[in-house]
């Protein structure tokens, strides 16, 4: 009886728990002379993610941006170790379109993780150097499509950008960072939108 009990203890399967951090970078920018801080912010954040990768979780990234039309680079299309930059063309797309496409990518990846039994933390990182239009902000705040989905919004902006109701929403549910104040631990927040 003692041998059977000992044998059963060693025959149990122990699974190693995989954890993921899914990060979608939503890039909303205005053209500016001499370059702007959007690329500096993108570079810093991606380098930080590469450095943190594997510490607590595997970090995966995707991008939504304007390149003549609204474009997305899904998690599977991105080399996770490569640093990506944007050109200096102004985003002529509306922020609500970029925001909802970003959330759709994030939701899809989180659902895939859930079906495979892997827990994930989900972040929508809006990087901008421009002011939000009020009507577009209101469409984001009024939408109910992603109410059930748990994610943390993060706004990275210059001192003149953002503002309004959308920035207040992000500050309440996640984190707002000035591009000049990017510090280690920028993604670590207890405020996750539910």
For 117-128, the pLDDT digits (tens) are 998 999 999 999
pLDDT digits (tens, 9 = 90+) for 45-98: 998 888 887 777 889 999 998 877 788 999 999 998 888 988 766 667 789 999
Token representation of residue 83: 């640093």
Q: What is the CATH number of domain 19-181?
A: 3.40.50.410
To which H or E segment does residue 71 belong? strand 70-73
Whether the CB-CB separation of 115 and 122 falls below 8 Å is answered with: no
The pLDDT value given to residue 192: 41
Q: Is the pLDDT of residue 37 over 90?
A: no
Q: Are strands 58-66 and 175-178 parallel, antiparallel or unpaired?
A: unpaired
Q: Structural domain boundaries of the chain?
A: 19-181
The pLDDT value given to residue 104: 96
Using alpha carbons, list the distances in angstroms from residue 155 to 27, 55, 92, 118, 163.
10, 24, 19, 26, 10
Sign of CA dihedral 106, 87, 94, 188: positive
Token representation of residue 43: 């570079």
Separation CA 144–CA 5 (nearest Å): 53
pLDDT digits (tens, 9 = 90+) for 93-114: 789 999 999 999 999 999 999 9
Task: Quickly tell me which residue has 């970029």 as its tokens.
Answer: 98
Q: Say which residues have a Cβ less than 8 Å from residue 9's Cβ, sequence separation at least 6.
A: none
């Amino acid at each position: 009886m003692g041998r059977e009990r000992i044998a059963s203890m060693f025959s149990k399967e122990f699974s190693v728990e995989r954890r993921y951090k899914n990060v979608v970078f939503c890039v909303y920018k205005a053209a500016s002379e001499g370059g702007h801080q959007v690329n500096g912010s993108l570079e810093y954040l991606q380098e930080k993610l590469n450095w943190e990768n594997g510490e607590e979780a595997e970090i995966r990234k995707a991008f939504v941006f304007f390149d003549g039309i609204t474009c997305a680079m899904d998690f599977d299309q991105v080399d996770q170790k490569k640093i990506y930059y944007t050109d200096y063309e102004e985003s002529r797309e509306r922020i609500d379109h970029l925001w909802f496409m970003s959330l759709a990518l994030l939701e899809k990846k989180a659902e895939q993780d859930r079906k495979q039994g892997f827990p994930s933390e989900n972040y929508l990182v809006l990087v901008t150097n421009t002011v939000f239009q009020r009507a577009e902000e209101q469409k984001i705040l009024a939408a109910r499509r992603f109410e059930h989905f748990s994610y943390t919004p993060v706004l990275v902006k210059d001192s003149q950008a953002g503002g309004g109701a959308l920035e207040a929403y992000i500050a309440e549910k996640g984190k707002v960072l000035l591009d000049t104040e990017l510090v280690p631990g920028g993604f670590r927040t207890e405020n996750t939108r539910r």
